[in-house]
Structure 1
Amino acid sequence: MKVIKQMVVAVSLVGISAMAPVVRAQQGWEKVAPGTMIAPAEALNSLLSMTEIQMISLVKALPADKYGFAPSAAIFAPGQRTEYAGVRTFGALVIHVAQANYALGSHLSGLKPDIDLTLLPKLKYKDEIIAALEDSFAFDHKAIGTITNANAFEDIGGRTPSGATIPSTRSTQAAYIAVHASDEYGQMVEYLRMNGIAPPASGAPAPPKK
Structure 2
Amino acid sequence: MKQFTYGCLMILMLFGTVAVAQETSGMAKGKSVIADEFMANLADVEKKLVGLAEATPAEKYAWRPAEGVRSTGEVFAHLAGGNYFVLSFAGVKPPPLDRDYEKKITDKAKIVEMMKASFAHVRKAAMEASDADLEKKTKMFGQDTNCRNVYLVIVTHAHEHLGQSIAYARMNGITPPWSEGGQ
Q: Answer whether TM exceeds 0.5 for this pair.
A: yes
Distance in 1 (alpha carbons) for counterparts of 2:153 and 2:43: 13
Superposed displacement of residue 116, structure 1: 3.2
Distance 2:130 2:98 in 1: 27
Q: Deviations over 1:63-91 (max 9, x none)?
A: 111111111xxxxxxxxxxxx33011100
Alignment of 1:116-127 (within 5 A): 116-118=97-99, 120-121=101-102, 122-127=104-109
Aligned amino acid, residue 59 of structure 1? A
**How many residues align structurally?**
156
- The runs of at least 4 consecutive aligned structure 1 residues that moved more than 6 Å come to none
Structure 1 CA distance for aligned equivalents of residues 145 and 167 of structure 2: 31
Alpha-carbon offset, residue 153 of structure 1: 2.2
Identify the match of residue 146 of structure 1 among 128, 142, 159. Answer: 128
- The 3 A distance-change label for structure 1 pair 155 and 89 is same
Which residues of 2 match residues 38-187 of structure 1 at below 5 A?
Answer: 38=26, 39=32, 40-71=34-65, 84-108=66-90, 110-118=91-99, 120-121=101-102, 122-159=104-141, 165-187=142-164
Equivalent residues of 2:56, 2:174 under 8 A apart:
yes
Tell me how far 1:205 sits from its aligned partner.
8.9
Give the Cα–Cα distance (whole angstroms) in 2 for the partners of residues 204 and 92 of structure 1. Answer: 28
Matched, 1:36 2:16: no
Does the CA-based 8 Å contact 2:83-2:154 persist in structure 1?
yes
2 CA distance for matches of 1:126 and 1:43? 30
Runs of 5+ unmatched residues, structure 1? 1-32, 72-83, 160-164
Shift of 1:50: 1.3
Find the structure with the greater CA-based Rg: 2
CA–CA distance in 2 between the matches of 1:41 and 1:94?
A: 25
Cα 1:99–1:197, aligned 2, differ >3 Å: closer, same or farther?
same
The CA deviation at 1:181 is 0.7
Q: How far, CA to CA, are the matches of 1:44 and 1:167 in structure 2?
A: 21
Question: 1:63 and 1:205, CA in 2 relative to 1: closer, same or farther beyond 3 A?
Answer: farther
**Do 1:95 and 1:132's aligned partners in 2 also have CA atoms closer than 8 Å?**
yes
| Residue identity (%) | 29
Whose helix proportion is higher, 1 or 2?
Answer: 2
Q: Please name the residue that 2:4 is paired with.
A: none
Question: Residue type matched to 1:46 in 2?
Answer: A
In the aligned structure 1, how far is the partner of 2:106 from the partner of 2:123?
A: 25
Give the secondary structure class of the aligned counterpart of 1:129.
helix
Q: Report if the CA contact (8 A) 2:89-2:140 is conserved.
A: no
Whole-Å Cα distance in 2 between the matches of residues 194 and 43 of structure 1?
32
**C-alpha contact (below 8 Å) 1:94/1:129 kept by paired residues:** yes
Q: Is the 8 A contact 2:79 2:158 kept in 1?
A: yes
The range that moved more, 183-192 or 36-45, is: 36-45
Question: In structure 1, what is the Cα distance between the partners aligned to 2:58 and 2:84?
Answer: 24
